[in-house]
Structures are given as structure tokens and as C-alpha cells.
Chains A and B, each alone.
Chain A
Amino acid sequence: MKVLLFGILSEHIQTSKVPWESFKTVKELESFLMEQFPVLHNIPIQFAVNHQMVSSDFELKNVEELALMPPFSGG
């Protein structure tokens, strides 16, 4: 599974510390990330699979590409 981290998430999530393939659902992954990187309690993440937004009960099976999008500020 290819994982893409956008915006400030690449500063907060150390990809090597996450067993990306081991979660059944987005919710499980989200809980793990929040536990591992507590700063994420204050940053909502929108998960997307193959360029489409997915909800937290989405099953992470045969996923080619998972993208994690945080809010962006402005200019």
C-alpha cells in the first residue's frame, strides 16, 4: 500500500513507526495514529483511498493508495 501524507502530517507522522498494512479499518488506523502521535488529537485527518474520501468504517483491504489530508491554513 502506497501511503501519502500531506501538509503538516509529514511533520507529525513517522511512517516507519506505523504498521500500515495491519489495520482492518480506517478507524483502527486512526486510533493507532492518535495514540502514537498525540498531537493528532487536535488535527482532523481526512482519509482517501484511490483519490476518494472514505469514512472511518472503510475496510482497508487491497488498497493501492491511501492518502491522509489534514486541514491547510492560508496565504
Chain B
Amino acid sequence: MERYQKHISLPGFGLEGQEILRNTSVLIIGAGGLGVPVMQQLTACGVGTIGILDGDSIDISNLHRQLLYTEQDVGKSKVEVAAQKLQQMNSEVSIKKYPFFLKAENALEIFPHYDVIVDATDRFDARYLINDVCVLLQKVWVYGAVFQWEGQWAVWNFSVNSSVKTTYRDLFPKPPKATMIPDCNAQGVFATVPVITGYFMANELIKLLIYPNEISLNMLSYLNFLNNKSHTLTIVPRVDFTEAPSSSKEILDFDYSYYCGYETKIEKQKGGQEQFEKDVLIVDVRQPEEFPKLPVKCLQIPLAELPQRIHELNTKKVLFVCQSGIRSKKAYELCKTLLPETQLDYFAGHVEQFIKKYQHA
């Protein structure tokens, strides 16, 4: 308990507060710019169980703002590296690893084991899924989001003394077309914005456990880090509520990616039909360290090496595969102009979906 002495001596915190933290479990979805500061702070102050969910691996361009990772970690699983480092930071905390992306199936399975859910993702399909599952399971969730020099955060689905609860769907009942709101990778982000926004999220999370009456209920907080101007927005429950999936079955059947505009109907229909023909050269554009390996004969060319090694794609048909469908699309777009004669395609989904489809083909 000595390590928590400075918390324990705070008025209203004490041993009791520390015990509350120790008995709390938090699931952090997204181990990137927002997730890293949240998990570092919660680990340091002794939150008993911390789950980390992310299917991504560390990219060199993450390092300017994701301060848990080093150059040696590039290409490795974020969850694996984060878990190892957090455990070194505080051996008393139980770290649970979920090295995959959030889907309705795993959300419904994992969320019930946690007291608080943290949305540190950069995708709208994940955010609406988190919202709907938290409403169904009556979980409080802490949210953060950033745009270039701006950050915002809130505590959703939380009430004190039976006050009214609001959710992200009260703020935005329907998602934007996701491509219209670029993420950090596409639009850039000022390094300290996700870091500080993440600490505000951790701050709200610890407060809702220890000082729940201090939480600004139903409020979106906002800070512009360029001019230091802050703003708040009081959320009012909607009466004109749009329909949202509200049972486990509805959530499982709902296509959140399509709903948020990540995949067009045409792309969906195309997927998985012509991709496994025998004469197709499958090219894995991930780093060699990334898992799972493809259970199929393939050529491994990391995306960054593709321009120099493009001569190796000397077949008529090529299919690119990667971890999440982002790099495979980039590879496809890169080669489209360089190899006009080749019939190119890319697998738009997660590598695990690819393996499943391949095995069933």
C-alpha cells in the first residue's frame, strides 16, 4: 500500500478508495494514442484488473504519441507489448490480453466481465457497437476522441442517485459516413492531443469510482490544444430517438461497418467470391513478425518494401492481404497504377476473416 500513499492521504480517498480501485475491472478498447495514457495511469494507480483489446500492431508512425512503445516494438502486437510493459510497471495489477479487433461476438462475451468500458478506438463502427452493448448490459463507458489539435471526452451511460443517463447516441443518433471524418492516420494529429485527452479520460474514470458526485453528468468536454480554448456541451436525452439494436441478437445481426460507411454494398458482394482461385498470387503485406501467419502459400512483402520488390508480382492475378484490410488496400492502390496489366484485388477485412474464408473456400 506504500506505493499508493499519496492517493490514500487525499481527503475522501483513503484506504477505502484504494480498495475500490483494486476491486475494479476496466476494459480498454484500443491500445493507441488514447488507450496508452489511460492504461498507463490506471496501472500506476492500482486498478485491479485491466483488459486491453486491440488487433493492431505497432507502426513506426505511432511512436510520436504512443509513449509506451519503442523502436524495438515496431511490428509487434500492441496488446502483447503493452501488457508486458504494464506488468513491469505494476505487478499487482492483473492484465488481460485480447489481441484482436472488437466485433459484436467478442463484445457481448467480454464486456460482462468488466465494470467500466473505455472507448479509445478510432473507428465509428466500434464506437456505436460499444454504445449499444453498454446500453444493453448497463455498463458505464468512458469515451475520448480527437481531431488534429482538438480533443473531446465524456462519461456515457452513467448516473448518480438515479439521475437521467445519456449515451453517445443522444449526441449523434446516427454515424457520419466514416470516410468523411478522417482518423489520425489520414488527417494527422498533434502528438500531445491524444496523450492529454487520454489522461482526461483516466481522470474521469478514477473520479467516477472515487468521487462520483464530482462527475459532470451528461456533458461532453472539449479542448482546443492550439489556442487552449475549452468548451462544454450539455447532452440532453433525445425524444426523437432513432432505432438502434437493443438485444444481443439484434446487435449480432447488425452490420456496424456498413452502417458507418466503411464498406460499400458492392465491395461487400465482391468479397470472398473470386479471391481463392488457384492462379491468384496471395501477397501478405504485413511485417514478418505479425501473427497469425496465413495458412496458405503466399509471398511476404511488407508494404514499405513493395515499391522496390514490385517485380516479384509477375503473375496475372494478385490478392493483397494484411492485418485489418488497410494496408492491403494501400498496396492495391499503389500497384494499380504501376501494374496496369495485372488483375489486382485486396482482402478488405481482418486477417482472421481471411483465414476463416480461405478454410471454408
Contact = CB atoms under 8 A, between A and B. Distances in A.
Query: Are both chains from one complex?
Result: yes
A75 B145 contact: yes
B55 interface: no
A42 B177 CA distance: 5
A6 B222 contact: yes
A46 B233 contact: yes
Interface string B152-179: 1000000000000000001111111110
A75 B197 contact: yes
Interface size class, chain B: 35 or more
Contact of B147 (A8, A42, A51): A8
Contact of B181 (A52, A54, A72): A72
A75 B120 contact: yes
B311 interface: no
B237 to A, nearest CB: 10
A26 to B, nearest CB: 13
Nearest to B30: A74
A75 B152 contact: no
Nearest to B34: A75
- Residue from A7, A48, A70, A75 whose CB has the most chain B CB atoms within 10 Å: A75
Interface residues of A, number: 23
Contacts of B198: 75
Contacts of B183: 73-74
B231 interface: yes
A54 B240 CA distance: 12
A46 B123 CA distance: 19
A46 B233 CA distance: 10
Interface in B234-255: 234-236, 238, 240
B94 to A, nearest CB: 26
18 contacts: A6-B222, A7-B150, A44-B173, A44-B176, A52-B233, A53-B234, A69-B220, A69-B233, A72-B147, A73-B123, A73-B145, A73-B184, A74-B32, A74-B119, A74-B146, A75-B65, A75-B144, A75-B189
